[in-house]
A and B are shown apart, each in its own frame.
Chain A
Amino acid sequence: MKKFLTWAFFMVLILAAVAFCAFLYFIPPFFIEPPETFSKAQNDAAPAVADIADPAERAIAEHGRYLVVTSGCIGCHQMPGPKGPQFDKYLAGGLKFLTHDGTYVTRNLTPDKDTGLARRNDDEVKRVLRSGVFPDGHVAPYRLMPWGSYTNWTEEDRHAVVVYLRHLPAVRHQIPEPAAPSPFRDPTAFEEVYGGADYGGAKGH
C-alpha cells in the first residue's frame, strides 16, 4: 500500500511537470487575442480629438492622430505593465534600450509640465523628429529613436504630429536620463530592448 502511494505520488508529480511544460509550450508568445482584437484595443487607445475647440487645430490634430497611430510611436513609447500595455497612460514612455552608446528609456510624450513634452517647445520636438538632435545637444542614433525615418515626413505632417501630441492627456511619469552603457546579455548584439517592466521612475534593471 505504502509502495503504491509513493509510486502514485511520483506519477502525479511527473504528470504535473509534463502538463506544466505543455502549458508553457502552448501558451502563445506575447499575446492571447486574435490580431484584430489586439490591434483594435491599441488603436482605439489613442485619444480622440473631438474635444478640441479650435476647428483648425482639431483638423490638424486629427491628421496627426492618424500619423501617430500608424507610425508605431506606441511600439516604444507605451508604458508596459504586468498585464499588458497601460493604455490609460498613452505614450507616457518607459521601455528600456541598451546600446553600445548608452542606456536609454523612451521618453514621456504626453504634455506633462514636469516630466513630459510640455517642457519642450515645438521647435525642440520637431528637431528630434527631423534630425535626432535632443535639447541637450546629443544626437540619437538614427535607428534608436528612428528619426532616420521620421525625417522624411513633410514639415506639415511633422507639425500635425506635434499638434496631436500636445493634446494628449498629460501623464506624470518621470523618465531617467540616458546613462552609461550597460553590459549586454549577448555582447555580440547591436542593441537590446527591454519592454516587460516600467523603466520610468529611474529604476535599474
Chain B
Amino acid sequence: MKRPTEHRSGRAITLGTAAVLLVGALGAARTEIHGQPAPTPAAAAAPSEAEARGKRVYDTHCVECHGRTGRGDGPASPMLVPRPRDFTTGRYKLRSTETGSIPTDEDLLRTVRQGVYGSAMPAWEKVLSDADIQDVVVYIKTWSPRFATERAASVALGAQVPSSPESIARGQEVFAKLRCGSCHGTDGRGTGAIATEFEDDRKQPLRAADLTEPWTFHGGPAARDIYLRFRVGMTGTPMPSFAGAASDADMWDLANYVVSLARKPVWSMNAEEITALYAREAAEAKADPIRRGKYLVDTHLCAVCHSPLDRDGKIMPGMKLAGGQLIRVLPFGDYPTCNLTSDKETGLGRWTDDQIKRVITTGIRPNGVRLPPFPMDWSAFSAMTPDDLNAMVAYLRTVPPVSNTIPEMTRPFLPMYLWGKFKMLVLQDDPPIMFYSGNVGTRGGAR
C-alpha cells in the first residue's frame, strides 16, 4: 500500500523528490571524496544521509501535526491540546537540561519513542524502527540553528530520596510552600486553583496537569520524570524550574508526594469503584457545565465541519467553530455549516437554547428546514442526556464571537435536482457528499 500522506499534493512530492535527489547526490559526492559518511554535527554543511532519511520519515508521519515547515502548525494542530511542538524555536518542554537550553538527543529520542502522555503524540517505537526514530531526530534538530551552536548537557540529578511516608509528608509541605496548588489545586485535581487553563508562550491553549492521573503526565509518571519537571521546568509553559526555590531533597520529596496522589485508573478498578468514578464525573459535570460542554464540543467533531478550512484542510486561524465550510449533498444542495460562535448577528447569539438543542437533536433548523442525517449527525446527538445537551449549549454560549455571515443553504437548479433524485432512486446511483476547503461566509475570503 502507498503511504497516503506522501502524496498530499503534487507540488510537495516534486519538491520532496528534488530534495531527496539533491541530498542523495551530495551524500554520494561526499562519500566519494572522503571515503566515509559525512560527519554528523556539521548542520551548516550539506545535509547528511541520516537527515535525508529523517526527512522522509518526517514527511510521512509527522506533518499532519507538526506541519511541513516544522512550526507545529500541521492541519490537525488547531484541534490539539497541547499544541504540537514548534521545532523552529529550539524550545522544548521535556528536557533533562537546564532551563532555557536545548534538550539532549536522548531527551528527544525518548519523547519520540515513548510519546507524550496526555497528548496526541503517540509512542512511535511501536510503529517505527529505532533507526527511523534516530534519523527523524537528526532531521528535526535541523529546524533550529540552536542545535548547531549550543551544547546540551543533562543536569546532575540529586541523590534520589526513596519514597516513604516521611518523604511524602515532607513533600506535601513543599507542595504548599511552593504554592503548587495555585495551578494544580490543593488536591492535585484543580480544586481551589486560581486557574487550570493557560496559554503557552505561543498563545496556545494548555491545561495544568491533573496530578491524580499520572497516565496523563506529559513527561512520564515515574518519580524521576516528575523530579526532572521541577528541576528544569517546562520551557514555554507556566511551569517554572524550582531549582533555586527548593533543594534537591525537597524536589525528590515533592516527586514522591505527587506519585502518592495518583488514583486508580478505570482499567484497574472494580465495579463499585467504577460506578463511584462515573457518579463523581457526572456530579462534576453538573457543577461545571461549561467545562463539561467544552469537553463535549471538543470530542463531538463540531469543529471538524463547523470551521472554514484552508487548502491543507487546516482550520483557518481564529475561525474555529465560526462555520462557513461548504458541504454539497448531491442532489439536494449546498449546506454551508453554521457559525457556532456566540456572535449576535451571524452566530448562535440570537438563537434560544431550545432552537440550538432542536437542531442538534433533530436536524430541524429554526426556519423549519430539515437537515439530512449525515454529515450533521443529529440522530447520534439525540441520544445525549439532557444534562450533556445543556452543558453543550452552555459552552457554545461562551465561545468568543466571530463575525462570519453564513449564506442560506441552496437547492440546485430544479431539473438538476430532479435528475439527481431520478439517478439516486431509479438508477440506484450513489450520490456523494462533497466537502470543500475555503470559507463561504463573509470573512476570510471565498475559496
Contacts and interface: CB of A to CB of B under 8 A. Distances in A.
Interface of A: 21, 24-25, 27-31, 35-36, 38-39, 42-43, 55-56, 58-60, 63, 66, 69-72, 74-75, 82, 98-102, 104, 123, 127, 130-133, 135-143, 146-157, 159-160, 177-181, 184-186, 188-197, 205
Contact of B75 (A123, A141, A146): A141
Given A63-B278, A72-B380, A186-B434, A56 B271 contact: yes
A71 B7 contact: no
Interface of B: 1-5, 7-9, 60-61, 64, 75-76, 79-81, 115, 118, 120-122, 126-128, 213, 215-216, 265-267, 269-271, 274-275, 277-278, 295, 298-304, 309, 313, 328-330, 332, 361-364, 370, 372-375, 377-384, 388, 414, 417-418, 421-422, 424-425, 428-437, 447
B48 to A, nearest CB: 23
26 contacts: A24-B422, A30-B372, A35-B364, A36-B382, A38-B379, A39-B379, A43-B383, A59-B278, A72-B381, A101-B7, A132-B76, A133-B127, A138-B4, A139-B64, A140-B4, A141-B313, A142-B76, A142-B304, A148-B76, A152-B295, A156-B267, A190-B435, A192-B433, A195-B433, A196-B430, A197-B430
A70 to B, nearest CB: 5
Given A133-B61, A148-B76, 14 more contacts: A24-B422, A30-B372, A39-B383, A42-B379, A74-B377, A99-B4, A102-B7, A135-B127, A148-B79, A148-B304, A156-B277, A186-B328, A186-B434, A188-B436
B425 A152 contact: no
Contacts of A55: 270-271
B300 A149 contact: yes
A103 to B, nearest CB: 9
Contact of B299 (A63, A152, A178, A205): A152
B434 A189 contact: yes
A38 B364 CA distance: 13
A190 B436 contact: yes
B7 A195 contact: no
B44 to A, nearest CB: 31
A161 to B, nearest CB: 10
A149 to B, nearest CB: 5
B382 A43 contact: yes
A75 B430 contact: no
B283 to A, nearest CB: 15
A28 B216 CA distance: 48
Given A35-B382, A156-B266, A159-B266, A60 B301 contact: no
A31 B128 CA distance: 45
Given A130-B120, A133-B127, A190-B313, A185 B421 contact: no
B265 A156 contact: yes
A69 B381 CA distance: 8
Closest 10 CB pairs of A and B: A142-B76, A148-B79, A55-B271, A196-B430, A72-B377, A102-B4, A131-B122, A39-B379, A35-B362, A101-B4
Contacts of B278: 59, 63
A179 B126 CA distance: 24
A152 B274 contact: no
B304 A75 contact: no
A1 B297 CA distance: 71
Given A152-B298, A178-B1, A139 B120 contact: no
A70 B34 CA distance: 63
Nearest to B1: A177
A71 B380 contact: yes
Contacts of A36: 362, 382
A160 B266 contact: yes
Contact of B274 (A59, A133, A146): A59
Contacts of A60: 266-267, 274
B8 A101 contact: yes
A35 B370 contact: yes
A104 B4 CA distance: 10
B299 A27 contact: no
Contacts of A130: 120, 122
Nearest to A181: B7
Q: Which of B120, B215, B277, B375 has the most CB of A within 10 A?
A: B120
A155 B216 contact: yes
B380 A42 contact: yes
Q: Which of B61, B300, B424 has the most CB of A within 10 A?
A: B300
B80 A151 contact: yes
Contacts of B81: 152
A137 B61 contact: yes
A181 B4 CA distance: 9
A131 B64 CA distance: 10
A73 B271 CA distance: 26
B246 to A, nearest CB: 30
A102 B1 CA distance: 10
Contacts of B267: 60, 156, 159
A59 B372 CA distance: 33
Contacts of A133: 61, 122, 127
A116 B447 CA distance: 39
A43 B438 CA distance: 33
Contacts of A56: 269-271, 274
Contacts of B75: 141-143
Contacts of B425: 24, 27
A152 B296 CA distance: 9
Nearest to A20: B422
Nearest to A58: B271
Contacts of B216: 154-155
Given A60-B266, A196-B431, A180 B364 contact: no
Contacts of A82: 428
